Amino acid sequence: MELVDAPHSKCGTFGFVGSSPTAPTSLIKTYNRFPLDLVKGRGSWVWDKEGRKYLDAVAGIATCSLGHSDKALNKSLSKQLRKLQHVSNLYGIPEQEELAQWLTSNSFAKSVFFCNSGAEANEAAIKLARKYGHIERNIDNPVILCSKESFHGRTLAAVSATGQPKYHKGFEPVVRGFKFFSYNDNESFENLFDDLEKTGPTIAAVLIEPIQGEGGINIGKKSFFELLRKKCTNSNVLLIFDEVQTGMGRTGTLWGYEQLGIEPDVFTLAKGLGGGHAIGALLVNTLADVFQPGDHASTFGGNPFACRAALTVGKEIQKRNILNKVKERGAQLKEGLIKISDKYSDIFISTRGVGLIQGLVLKDNIKITSLDIVKSALEEKLLLVPAGTKVLRIVPPLTITKKEIKELLLRLDKSLMKLS
**pLDDT per position as a tens digit, 185-233:** 999 999 999 999 999 999 999 999 999 999 999 999 999 999 999 999 9
Domain presence at residue 401: no
* Claim to verify: residue 182 and residue 270 sit in the same structural domain: yes
**Do 172 and 229 belong to one domain?**
yes
pLDDT tens track for 278-287: 999 999 998 8
Domain boundary among 308, 329, 351: 351
User: What's the rounded Cα separation, in Å, for the pair 1 and 51?
Assistant: 23
Number of structural domains the chain divides into:
2
The parent domain of residue 226 ranges over: 89-319
Q: Identify whether the C-beta of residue 133 lies closer than 8 Å to the C-beta of residue 204.
A: yes
Note whether 221 and 231 are same-domain residues. yes
pLDDT digits (tens, 9 = 90+) for 310-353: 999 999 999 999 999 999 999 999 999 999 999 999 999 999 99
How confident is the model at residue 405, as a pLDDT?
98
**Phi and psi of 108, rounded to 5°?**
-80, -15
Q: Is residue 402 part of a domain?
A: no
**pLDDT band per the 50, 70, 90 thresholds, residue 16:** very low
Structural domain includes residue 396: no
Share of the chain above pLDDT 90, in %: 91
- Both 191 and 248 in one domain: the answer is yes
146 located within any domain: yes
* Domain match, 305 and 328 both: no
Domain-located, residue 151 = yes
> Are 185 and 213 contained in the same domain?
yes
On the question of pLDDT at 18 being above 80, the answer is no
The order of strands in the sheet holding 382-383 is 38-42, 45-48, 53-56, 382-383
What are 40-96's pLDDT values in tens digits? 999 999 999 999 999 999 999 999 999 999 999 999 999 999 999 999 999 999 999
Distance CA 161, CA 274 (A): 24
**Residue ending a domain, choose from 276, 301, 319:** 319
Is residue 49 a part of any domain in this protein?
Answer: no
Domain presence at residue 356? no
pLDDT level of residue 22 (50, 70, 90 thresholds):
low
Residue 66 included in any domain: no
CA dihedral in degrees (28, 369, 21, 40; nearest 10)?
-90
Instruction: Count Cα atoms within 13 angstroms, Cβ side, for 75.
Output: 6
What is the pairing mode between strands 266-269 and 238-242? parallel
CB 108 within 8 A of CB 255: no
Query: How much is the pLDDT for 289?
Result: 85
Question: Which pTM value belongs to this model?
Answer: 0.93
Reported confidence tier of residue 24, pLDDT bands at 50, 70, 90 = low
pLDDT tens, position by position, 127-148: 999 999 999 999 999 999 999 9
Question: Does 343 lie in the same domain as 304?
Answer: no
**Mean pLDDT, the chain, integer:** 93
The mean pLDDT value for 288-311 works out to 95
- Please tell me whether residues 160 and 107 are part of one structural domain: yes
C-alpha dist (Å) from residue 327 to 120, 136, 254: 30, 40, 11
Confidence of residue 420 (pLDDT cuts 50, 70, 90): confident
Residues 268 and 328 occupy one common structural domain: no
Same domain, 315 and 325: no
Q: Are residues 237 and 346 in the same domain?
A: no
389: confidence class by pLDDT, cuts 50, 70, 90: confident
One domain, residues 225 and 307:
yes
Answer with the one of 276, 300, 319 that is the final residue of a domain. Answer: 319
Percentage of residues in the chain having pLDDT higher than 70 = 94
Largest CA distance in the chain: 65
CATH of the domain at 206: 3.40.640.10
CA-atom Rg of the chain in angstroms: 21
pLDDT surpasses 60 at 8:
no
